C-alpha cells in the first residue's frame, strides 16, 4: 500500500474548499436568519421551506457545473470515477474544514449514494431509462431517495412487508417505507420490495429493486419524521398504494435486489465513516486551540495533565480510524472483498466521533454547551450516525459472521 496522496486529489480538495469558502459560505451567511432557525427553516409539518430547497438546489447545480458533484461517481454512469481512496480523502477534508451543521454543504456539494448525484445503484438501471434521467440527476436539478427500510424492517431487512407483484410488463407495488432520507423532496425513488416470499423467508433473496418518478400515482410521503434536535428533517415515510412500475425500470435482476442495494449501502457506510473522521479532526482542532487560550488558576488549561490526556485520547482515536479507513478504501480500489472491513470502519468511526466530540465539549467546559461553537450540534450528529446504514450492533454481527466463516485475514 502507498498512502501518498496524489496531487490530483489535493488539487481537487483545494478547489472544493475554495468553492465552499467563496460561494457557499457567503450564501449561508446571507441566509443565516432562515437556515439557522428551526422555525424558519421548516414548515409546520416539518418539511423544508421552499426557500431552503431552492438554496440547496442552487448549490447542487453550481457544484455540478464546476465538476465537484459527479467527480466521485462511477465512470460507467458518467461520473469522474476518482475511486474509494479519493472519495474518503475528499470527504475527510470537507468535513474537517467545514465542521458540523453546514446546511448547504453536507449532502449537497458532493454526491450521496442514496439521494444526490449519480448513485452507484444506478449502474443496475436499464441503459435507456438511465439515459432519460441522467442529465437531471447529474446536473443537481433532480434528486432521489432510497427506500429500503420499513417500520418493522430496518436491521432485519427480510422482515420487509412491501410487495411487488408482476402484472404483464409491469409490477404493482404496495407497502410502507420509513426512515427514508430525502423522501419528502425527491424526484425519483429507488424502491425495494419482496417479489418471492419463499426466498425471502429463507433469506435467499426474493427482494427486487425498482426505479420510479415520485409523481407516479400511488406514491406519497404523508409525513416527515423530526429527528434529534430538529423540528423537521430530510427523512420521511413513504406510502405505496398500487404503484405501477414498468419492468424496464427494474434495478438489476428479479429477486436480487439486496445485492443491488448493498452497492449504495456500502458506499454510504464508507462515506459516513470518512465524514466522521473529518468532523473528529475539526472537533479536536477546536479543543486544542481553546486549551491554549483558556486559563484557570493562572495557567492555560493546556498545561493541565487532565486536559492533555483528553486531547491525546482524541488523537489516538482519530489516527486509528484514519488508518482503518484508508486501508479499507484501498481494498475496495483493488477490487478485493471488504465486507468485514467496511463494517469495521463504519462501526468504529461512528463511535469514535462521539467520543471525540464528548471530550472536546469537556475541554471547553460550559462554552462547549453553547450553540455558537457548533460543538453541541456535532455531538448530536455524532449520536445519530451509529444507527443509519446499519447500526453498530449489525456491523458487529456482520464482522463476527465473517470471522466465523473463516475470514480472519486483515491483509
Mean pLDDT of 378-398: 94
- In this predicted structure, the answer to whether residue 313 has a pLDDT above a threshold of 80 is yes
Q: What is the pLDDT of residues 6-61, one digit of tens each?
A: 999 999 999 999 999 999 999 999 999 999 888 899 999 999 999 999 999 999 99
pLDDT confidence bin for 372, thresholds 50/70/90:
confident
Q: Are residues 272 and 365 in the same domain?
A: yes
374: CATH: 1.20.140.10
212: CATH: 2.40.110.10
- In this predicted structure, the answer to whether residue 147 has a pLDDT above a threshold of 80 is yes
Mean pLDDT of 357-363: 98
Mean pLDDT of 141-150: 96
Mean pLDDT of 266-283: 95
- In this predicted structure, the answer to whether residue 152 has a pLDDT above a threshold of 90 is no
370 in any annotated domain = yes
128 vs 110, higher pLDDT: 128
163 in any annotated domain = yes
Q: Per DSSP, what are the bridge partners of residue 142?
A: none
Q: What is the pLDDT of residues 64-74, one digit of tens each?
A: 999 999 999 99
397 in any annotated domain = yes
280 vs 112, higher pLDDT: 280
- In this predicted structure, the answer to whether residue 113 has a pLDDT above a threshold of 90 is no
For the chain, the domain total comes to 3
Q: Are residues 124 and 163 in the same domain?
A: no
Q: Are residues 301 and 325 in the same domain?
A: yes
Residue 125 Cα distances to 82, 330, 361, angstroms: 21, 27, 46
1 in any annotated domain = no
Q: Are residues 68 and 82 in the same domain?
A: yes
Q: Are residues 274 and 381 in the same domain?
A: yes
d(CA 271, CA 109): 14
Q: Are residues 399 and 338 in the same domain?
A: yes
- In this predicted structure, the answer to whether residue 107 has a pLDDT above a threshold of 70 is no
Q: What is the pLDDT of residue 231?
A: 86
Please, what is the average pLDDT of the chain?
Answer: 94
Q: What is the pLDDT of residues 83-98, one digit of tens each?
A: 999 999 999 999 999 9
Q: Are residues 248 and 267 in the same domain?
A: no
Domain boundary (187, 220, 255) is at: 255
Range of the domain at 214: 144-255
Q: What is the pLDDT of residue 38?
A: 85
Q: Are residues 113 and 179 in the same domain?
A: no
213 in any annotated domain = yes
Q: Are residues 303 and 377 in the same domain?
A: yes
Domain boundary (138, 173, 206) is at: 138
Mean pLDDT of 283-309: 97
Amino acid at each position: 500500500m502507498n498512502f501518498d496522496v496524489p496531487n490530483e486529489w489535493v488539487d481537487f480538495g483545494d478547489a472544493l474548499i475554495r468553492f465552499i469558502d467563496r460561494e457557499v459560505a457567503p450564501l449561508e451567511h446571507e441566509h443565516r436568519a432562515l437556515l439557522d432557525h428551526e422555525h424558519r427553516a421548516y414548515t409546520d409539518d416539518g418539511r423544508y421551506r421552499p426557500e431552503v430547497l431552492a438554496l440547496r438546489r442552487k448549490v447542487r447545480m453550481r457544484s455540478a457545473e464546476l465538476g465537484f458533484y459527479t467527480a466521485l461517481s462511477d465512470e460507467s454512469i458518467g461520473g469522474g470515477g476518482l475511486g474509494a481512496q479519493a472519495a474518503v480523502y475528499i470527504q475527510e477534508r470537507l468535513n474537517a474544514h467545514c465542521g458540523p451543521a453546514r446546511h448547504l454543504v453536507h449532502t449537497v456539494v458532493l454526491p450521496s449514494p442514496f439521494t444526490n448525484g449519480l448513485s452507484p445503484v444506478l449502474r443496475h438501471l436499464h441503459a435507456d431509462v438511465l439515459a432519460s434521467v441522467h442529465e437531471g440527476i447529474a446536473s443537481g436539478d433532480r434528486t432521489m431517495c432510497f427506500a429500503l427500510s420499513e417500520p418493522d424492517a430496518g436491521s432485519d431487512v427480510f422482515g420487509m412487508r412491501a410487495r411487488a407483484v408482476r402484472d404483464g410488463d409491469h409490477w404493482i407495488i404496495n407497502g410502507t417505507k420509513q426512515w427514508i432520507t430525502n423522501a419528502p423532496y425527491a424526484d425519483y425513488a429507488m424502491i425495494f420490495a419482496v417479489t418471492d416470499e419463499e426466498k425471502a423467508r429463507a433469506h435467499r433473496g426474493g427482494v427486487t429493486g425498482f426505479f420510479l418518478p415520485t409523481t407516479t400515482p400511488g406514491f406519497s410521503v404523508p409525513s416527515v419524521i423530526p429527528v434529534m434536535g430538529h423540528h423537521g428533517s430530510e427523512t420521511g415515510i413513504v406510502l405505496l398504494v398500487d404503484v405501477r412500475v414498468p419492468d424496464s425500470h427494474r434495478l438489476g435482476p428479479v429477486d436480487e435486489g439486496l445485492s443491488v442495494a448493498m452497492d449504495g449501502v456500502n458506499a454510504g457506510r464508507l462515506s459516513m465513516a470518512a465524514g466522521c473522521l473529518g468532523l473528529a479532526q475539526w472537533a479536536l482542532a477546536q479543543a486544542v486551540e481553546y486549551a491554549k487560550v483558556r486559563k484557570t488558576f493562572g495557567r492555560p488549561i493546556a498545561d493541565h495533565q487532565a486536559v492533555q490526556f483528553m486531547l491525546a485520547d482524541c488523537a489516538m482515536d482519530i489516527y486509528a480510524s484514519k488508518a482503518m479507513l484508508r486501508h479499507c478504501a484501498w481494498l475496495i480500489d483493488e477490487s478485493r472483498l471488504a465486507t468485514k472491513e467496511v463494517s469495521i470502519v463504519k462501526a468504529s468511526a461512528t463511535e469514535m466521533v462521539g467520543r471525540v466530540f464528548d471530550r472536546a465539549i469537556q475541554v471547553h467546559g460550559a462554552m462547549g454547551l453553547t450553540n455558537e461553537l457548533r460543538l453541541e450540534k456535532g455531538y448530536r450528529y455524532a449520536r445519530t450516525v451509529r444507527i443509519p446504514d446499519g447500526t453498530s450492533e449489525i456491523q458487529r454481527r456482520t464482522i463476527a459472521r465473517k470471522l466465523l466463516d473463516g475470514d480472519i485475514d486483515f491483509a
